[in-house]
Structure 1
Amino acid sequence: MSEEKSAVPAWEQRFRAARVSLPDWADDAPDRALYVSNATGTYEVYAWDRAAGTHRQVTDRPNGTTDAELSPDGDWVWWFDDHDGDEFGVWRRQPFAGGPDEEAVPGLAPSYSAGLALGRDGTVVVGRSTDEDGTTLHLRRPGAAEAVEIYRHEEYGGIGDLSYDGSLLAIDHTEHGDAMHSAIRIVRLSDGTTVAELDEVTGRAEPRGVACLGFAPVDGDTRLLVAHQRTGRWEPVIWDVATGAETALPLRDEQGRELPGDVSAQWRPGAEALLVEHEYEARSELFSYSLADGRLTRLDTPRGTVGGATARPDGTVEYLWSSAAEPSAVRSTAGTVVLRAPGAVPPGSVPVEDVWVDGPGGRVHALVQRPAGAGEGPVPTVFEIHGGPTHHDSDAFAAGPAAWLDHGFAVVRVNYRGSTGYGQAWTDALRERVGLIELEDIAAVREWAVASGLADPRRLVLTGGSWGGYLTLLGLGVQPEHWTLGVAAVPVADYPTAYADEMEALKSLDRTLFGGTPEEVPERFTASSPLTYVEQVRAPVYISAGVNDPRCPIKQIENYVERLQQLGKPHEVYRYDAGHGSLVVDERIKQLRLEIDFVRRHLDGEGLAEDGGPA
């Protein structure tokens, strides 16, 4: 290793090391694939000709690009062009082999994306979302000059899938007004008529969501793979949209036991088998399921997290895998690493420990990492709270937590009520006292961390991004005695104002969470807004915000900062020219360096490692 390389601390090497996403290949040209990589220092889209072994950068924009899709014939790369990370834009396309970009569907004004479907015959369906129009879907037939509108509704929805022969469209929608539980409508594209509807929300005391997982990849096949919550967790079922018949999938392991946790699936080529992903207690594994005999076969994957998988025509399965200790790579069930980014592999990190804590709503699962060489404790501890909110932390590699560990902090991540992966009741509890219920679970884990001797109660940092940033600001005001410092990235800070300015998809979610708009249920928004409790904040707080953020808009953050200033509360603010986070590696490093510097200054650096070196 060169002197220049060795001078870069391990935490920064992890961010700078190139990484790749799981490649997505063309249905009718499996040797043509797309993936996203940060190899240039900015996350951009790459085309990979697997037969020739060549890689080509497709997009090159100052703030990066991640949303892209390959046409079924592999001839075109479609990518979404927004403005500086604001997520508001249009689809463009470029020949797979390279060439100038062109507007993919002329005549459609910029919008938020609500999905894209590309048919094998050239049919295109574009989903759009705007504040003025709600959700609209637009169909362009091969040879047509313009797209025509085929669906419109004020509530949020999106494209589920296009049938293999291009005749049927599945729409995931929330016309019933519950954005947490979708329904599915099947539309015949030839005349716009509804073929079938699967709605397990309307008129039900206990709503159950359904979600489109994809049509069978066979011409004329009307079977749709669907995820449902009928058993209180996500499971797949096959629904024939033409006949209404359903085929249950009794997924059991080698010992005949049902798989606990959430289960998803996708069709394998030929539609005679399924690739099954099982997610349970922050880890995941893969199986193959034969439709002919109902046999479930476990695929050999290491313990950790599968960040996506795809079944290839040759019978192999490729998957993106990592653990908290080991960086990600695209692997194959053939026993090889299919795709690894160029350059050095980033340094590993510390394995996670599983901790279960009794909380007010049931057992709370937390992932705990202790800094190397820290001894028994207590040590300064960072509670890093995940966003989403319908998401969860897992045993997967993450450069952010690893950086805190390098600086001598323990890291605790809590899968609070509202998180996915622990059953529908756990996720749906999010609607009970929004924000406040999550903080109860975080407080229970905090109590364990202090009582167990892990965490130093004088040096406890609450941090997170997006919904995690929201819970950070809310926690500093609702639980001021619990936290020494707060670090909030792209947070909700003033909920009523956030609702007024955010993108329509999030307005729909907020109406579901709160049971109405700020005008209809003002007391609920007020009770869950960090701005309500700002007078009670004791800890110094650091806030970072993207000035083009459509999810946690800048105005509501400025309202919170202005109130901190009026009250004389210690705080620092960093604003950057991007949206809901950044796709530029240097910018991510800068943000984390500022956060670490803020924490070190306010904790006086006592017992902390210097720039990721040994303490």
Structure 2
Amino acid sequence: MTEITDSASSPSADVPDWEKRFRAPRVSLPDWAEDAPDNALFVSNATGTYELYAWDRATGVRRQATDRPNGTTDGVLTPDGAWIWWFSDTDGDEFGVWKRQPFGGRPAGEADEPAVPGLAPSFPAGLALGRGGLAAVGRSTDEDGTTIHVVRVPGGEPAEIYRHRESAGVGDLSYDGDLLAIEHTEHGDAMHSALRVVRLDGSRVAELDDTEGGTRELGLEVLGFSPVAGDSRLLVGHQRRGRWEPMIWDPLTGEETDLAVELPGDLGAEWYPDGSGLLIEHSFEARSELWRYDMAKRALVRVETPAGSVSGATARPDGSVEYLWSSAATPPSVRSTSGGRVLDAPGFTAPGSVPVEDAWVEGPGGRVHALVQRPPGARGPLPTVFEIHGGPTWHDSDAFAAAPAAWVDHGFAVVRVNYRGSTGYGRDWTDALKHRVGLIELEDIAAVREWAVSSGLADPARLLLAGGSWGGYLTLLGLGTQPDAWAAGLAAVPVADYVTAYNDEMEALKAMDRTLLGGTPEEVPERFAASSPLTYVDEVRAPVYISAGLNDPRCPIKQVENYVDRLAARGAVHEVYRYEAGHGSLVVEERIKQVRLELDFARKHVGVPA
């Protein structure tokens, strides 16, 4: 058993602040076992690689549970707290099996075995662990689509209870273990799931479908069954009023309880452990806050948190709320409404950064929200990085992030744009991407770019377009469709050749692309061509830096190489960094290396202020 100690020391004085922010130990919000709340599981980079840790809250002992070269972040506790399930892939390829280990660890030298030996490797499609060794395991493969299996562990034989070509996933098991909620997209719209509740033999109990067979763009999501024995009610997220919000659905009776929480923006929720209320996470205009919804009084009570962003929250059995909080200026910490910090990572704290400023810019599809950071005391026009978020269904927020802070440390302004497709601004804003994929987001980025230049913030001759994943895709697409707008581009794990990416990517992402573009490359070739960076590669004028994981199942390496070959054939200025991992890296030193390479590229081609 490897315990975490508080012996980690601060780096030497010559290590710059931007590196310290990456090196500083961090912890995630601890997950706890429903029937053994002193048994908890969290993720930390304390060893320099993000791994899972078991925490006995009664004794204070913290133990490193996994130890792999490329890290581990997916783990779940059984309700009794006796076992840890964790997903084992190969070098970040996201293809593998669930393994398990006792909460207290195994003897030295004894390896974890597959939790369900009868299931072959796959991409994960959800996992729900019930009482008495019950497990519902979701799998996704190119050959089978999505399958869901129910098994009693150890020793039971997994029984397949669901199969479909379209994407689906395990939602949750009821407290008593007799009902299973499934999210599915059998209607063909991968952006908007329907819900099905089945018994453990796969027989259907009830269906909730707001898409009306794919003719209406409304989604549902499983937020969790009631935590009370004998209670079959399911907490559901819905979009019926143009944003995400919770309601209660009883699949046995069909009764729906509309909570009608009157707050702007998107709402997530989870049950309080005794079922008396809901913990509401409210996200609006790049900030978030917490509320308690009292079920008996049907009333909201504010859960006090500082201004900034809550990146996760959970209600404890004593009624207190623990949450992971940060702001752009303040590093993250796990806090409790009962007072103080819940869990500190060993070692030093990351240096802070500068706060964000809000910018609202009129765009072709409505007001676009951008977050701006600039070096303290700096006056424009400044070299400026447009750092574009991934997803696309995600959003940048007033939360601590080491990469933007690194650019600020080097004299750059940083602009982050919550383009159409981003979450937190209503369903219509998120769903606006269809068919003109990529081009719509770039219209919003162009509007913010024009504002940044005209306001005096940004130097038009020193503008960098940068991002990872979908942000990397938009970077390459922007360099080709807006060739005179950018001085350089930095694309990490991007989509570069949309058709090849579609053919090589994991099945769930194929389904998403069919939804976004309206079909396959064979069915709508003109849309794939219009949205593919490869189509515009010969128009690229700015120097291009690309980093890519050799084992990436989301943005596979072959399609990146196709794009790079085209750049090389015409002698375009470019650099490529390939590394042995998947869709990004969980190794701190590798991440620092990548940022350093990006800074060096910017220094060569744009110049870094003294």
Normalising by structure 2, we get a TM-score of: 0.97
1:240 to 244, 247, 250: 250
Kept after mapping to 1: 8 A contact 2:97/2:121: yes
How much does 1:121 deviate? 2.0
How much does 1:202 deviate? 3.0
Which segments of 5 or more consecutive residues in structure 2 lack a partner in the other structure?
Answer: 1-7
Residue 178 (structure 1) aligns with: 189
2:102 to 95, 99, 117: 95
* Equivalent residues in 2 for 1:230-269, closer than 5 Å: 230-251=240-261, 258-269=262-273
Residue 469 (structure 2) aligns with: 466
* Equivalent residues in 2 for 1:48-59, closer than 5 Å: 48-59=55-66
Residue 82 (structure 1) aligns with: 89
How much does 1:281 deviate? 0.1
How far, CA to CA, are the matches of 1:488 and 1:151 in structure 2?
Answer: 38
* Equivalent residues in 2 for 1:103-502, closer than 5 Å: 103-141=114-152, 144-189=155-200, 191-203=201-213, 205-251=215-261, 258-374=262-378, 376-502=379-505
How much does 1:192 deviate? 2.1
User: Are 2:45 and 1:38 aligned?
Assistant: yes
Kept after mapping to 1: 8 A contact 2:435/2:518: no
Q: Which amino acid aligns with 1:511?
A: R
Q: Counterpart of 1:171 in 2: which secondary structure?
A: strand
Residue 3 (structure 2) aligns with: none
2:29 to 22, 25, 28: 22
> Which stretch shifts more, 135-144 or 206-215?
135-144
Residue 560 (structure 1) aligns with: 563
Q: Which amino acid aligns with 2:208?
A: L
Q: Counterpart of 2:12 in 1: which secondary structure?
A: helix
Question: Structure 1 587/143 Cα, relative in aligned 2: closer, same or farther at 3 Å?
Answer: closer
2:78 to 58, 61, 71: 71
How far, CA to CA, are the matches of 2:559 and 2:306 in structure 1?
Answer: 44
Residue 522 (structure 1) aligns with: 525
How far, CA to CA, are the matches of 1:233 and 1:150 in structure 2?
Answer: 32
* Equivalent residues in 2 for 1:506-521, closer than 5 Å: 506-521=509-524
Question: Structure 1 440/53 Cα, relative in aligned 2: closer, same or farther at 3 Å?
Answer: same
User: Are 2:576 and 1:573 aligned?
Assistant: yes
How much does 1:2 deviate? 9.6
Q: Which amino acid aligns with 1:161?
A: D
How much does 1:120 deviate? 1.1
Q: How many correspondences in the alignment?
A: 599
Q: Which amino acid aligns with 1:120?
A: R
Q: Deviations over 1:526-569 (max 9, x none)?
A: 00000000111010000000000000000000000000000111
How far, CA to CA, are the matches of 2:136 and 2:113 in structure 1?
Answer: 17
How much does 1:4 deviate? 5.9
How much does 1:144 deviate? 4.5
Kept after mapping to 1: 8 A contact 2:396/2:417: yes
How much does 1:142 deviate? 5.1
Q: Deviations over 1:248-277 (max 9, x none)?
A: 1132xxxxxx20000111100111111011
Residue 4 (structure 2) aligns with: none
Kept after mapping to 2: 8 A contact 1:213/1:224: yes
Residue 612 (structure 1) aligns with: none
Question: Structure 1 360/72 Cα, relative in aligned 2: closer, same or farther at 3 Å?
Answer: same
Kept after mapping to 2: 8 A contact 1:159/1:171: yes
Q: Deviations over 1:338-374 (max 9, x none)?
A: 0111111100001000100000000000000011231
Question: Structure 1 420/3 Cα, relative in aligned 2: closer, same or farther at 3 Å?
Answer: closer
Kept after mapping to 1: 8 A contact 2:11/2:20: no
Q: Which amino acid aligns with 1:130?
A: T
Q: Which amino acid aligns with 1:490?
A: V
How much does 1:204 deviate? 5.7
- Report sequence identity in percent: 73
RMSD: 1.2
Kept after mapping to 1: 8 A contact 2:282/2:289: yes
Which segments of 5 or more consecutive residues in structure 1 lack a partner in the other structure?
Answer: 252-257, 609-614
Kept after mapping to 2: 8 A contact 1:250/1:294: no
> Which stretch shifts more, 33-42 or 99-108?
99-108
How far, CA to CA, are the matches of 2:155 and 2:578 in structure 1?
Answer: 44
Q: Counterpart of 1:88 in 2: which secondary structure?
A: coil
Normalising by structure 1, we get a TM-score of: 0.96
How far, CA to CA, are the matches of 2:305 and 2:256 in structure 1?
Answer: 31
Q: Counterpart of 2:568 in 1: which secondary structure?
A: helix
Q: Counterpart of 2:319 in 1: which secondary structure?
A: coil
Q: Counterpart of 1:357 in 2: which secondary structure?
A: strand
How far, CA to CA, are the matches of 1:544 and 1:203 in structure 2?
Answer: 40
Kept after mapping to 1: 8 A contact 2:115/2:153: no
> Which stretch shifts more, 461-470 or 204-213?
204-213
Q: Counterpart of 2:118 in 1: which secondary structure?
A: coil
Residue 254 (structure 1) aligns with: none
How far, CA to CA, are the matches of 1:4 and 1:524 in structure 2?
Answer: 50
1:7 to 14, 34, 38: 14
Q: Which amino acid aligns with 2:60?
A: G
How much does 1:295 deviate? 1.6
Q: Deviations over 1:143-169 (max 9, x none)?
A: 643211110000010001000010000
Q: Which amino acid aligns with 1:200?
A: D
Q: Counterpart of 2:499 in 1: which secondary structure?
A: helix
Question: Structure 1 204/557 Cα, relative in aligned 2: closer, same or farther at 3 Å?
Answer: closer
How much does 1:475 deviate? 0.0
How far, CA to CA, are the matches of 1:412 and 1:358 in structure 2?
Answer: 16
How far, CA to CA, are the matches of 1:98 and 1:67 in structure 2?
Answer: 17
How far, CA to CA, are the matches of 2:305 and 2:211 in structure 1?
Answer: 36
Question: Structure 1 148/480 Cα, relative in aligned 2: closer, same or farther at 3 Å?
Answer: same
How far, CA to CA, are the matches of 2:292 and 2:33 in structure 1?
Answer: 21
